[in-house]
Amino acid sequence: MIVSIRHKGLRLLWEKGDASKLPAAQVPKLLFILDTLDTMVSLEPLASLASLRLHPLTGMYKGFWSLHVSGNYRVIFVYDEGDVYLVNYLDYH
């Protein structure tokens, strides 16, 4: 279950269905990712989707997991026992 979302555009999309702060071409994939994060009880559903390229991050983002959206853009999040925290949408490269 999604507990917290850092990115204002993602939060607006998730809470109000307002996609105005996000690239229109990426909204369907972002919605899919948010829906999946909200309903999953483990990381296995994400790991089985090769197109999302789930992987743990290191360095300043240690403790976060990353999902590929498009180009350099990723959704990153902290996962803890079925809960998802600090969901963010960024280019960390």
Q: What is the pLDDT of residues 13-37, one digit of tens each?
A: 999 999 999 999 999 999 999 999 9
Query: Which residues are marked as active site?
Result: 93
Closest CA to 75 of 25, 9, 17: 9
Q: What is the pLDDT of residues 72-88, one digit of tens each?
A: 999 999 999 999 999 99
Alpha-carbon distance 78 to 63, whole Å?
Answer: 6
Indicate whether 48 belongs to any domain: yes
Indicate whether 15 belongs to any domain: yes
Indicate whether 61 belongs to any domain: yes
CATH code: domain of residue 39: 3.30.2310.20
Indicate whether 56 belongs to any domain: yes
The total number of structural domains that make up the chain: 1
The per-residue pLDDT for 77 is 98
Alpha-carbon distance 22 to 71, whole Å?
Answer: 15
Indicate whether 16 belongs to any domain: yes
Angle at 84 between CA 79 and CA 90, to 5 degrees: 90
Beta bridge pairs of residue 67: 75
Residue range of the domain that includes 28: 8-91
